[in-house]
Amino acid sequence: MKTRVLFTLLMTGALMAQSPRRAPRYDELRTYLGLTDTQVSQLQTIQSNFQTEVRDLRQGQADKQKALRDALNAGTTDAAAVGRLLLDIDSGRKQISAKRDVMETQAAGVMNTDQQTKLKALTETADLRSVLRQAIAAGLVEPPQGAGIGRRPGFGPGAEARPRMRGRVRPGAGFRQ
């Protein structure tokens, strides 16, 4: 589970860096775990290799899911064909999961014991995210200022100074003459 949080953080960084293909920086993760430049580079390589390995599997999954959706929308009565597609989709999920497990093991091997302990604490904190949201909703905990859990209009620095608007005005909408 602890490596799943690291994987999620790596994936988030990778998705954010999609425009010009540059490697994410992971500044906060680097600081929190005390990662070296070499470790970050190794983690990026492991994550990049994983993405390359599963790209075709994901495309196959998308194709099979589309075929299943098309067959069901067409009102197929061929239960065997639908069953094959479902089994193929499940098989693809298992293959991706197995590759993810290998990637997570490799990523954990890059970190030292202290970093793995910190990652475990980070994972445990992430597991409490929904509990924290509920505590905020119940008024037991003050919402954090700025970005983060509980962030919505009306919260955060300067919220009192922002004018409240009811409804949205569409461009071009307004007074008619």
- Report in angstroms the alpha-carbon separations of 128 from 1, 27, 121, 122, 125: 13, 23, 11, 10, 5
Within a domain: 50:
yes
pLDDT at 144: 77
Give me the number of domains the chain comprises.
1
Domain that holds residue 54: 2-111
- The first and second tokens of residue 15, run together, are 């998705």
pLDDT tens digit sequence for 50-83: 999 999 999 999 999 999 999 999 998 899 999 9
Within a domain: 132:
no
Within a domain: 14:
yes
Within a domain: 151:
no
| Low pLDDT (below 50) residues in the chain | 5, 7, 9-10, 15-20, 147, 149-151, 154-156, 159-177
pTM for this model (two decimals):
0.59
Within a domain: 101:
yes
- Using alpha carbons, select from 47, 53, 39, 37 the residue that is nearest to residue 17: 47
pLDDT at 148: 52
Within a domain: 84:
yes
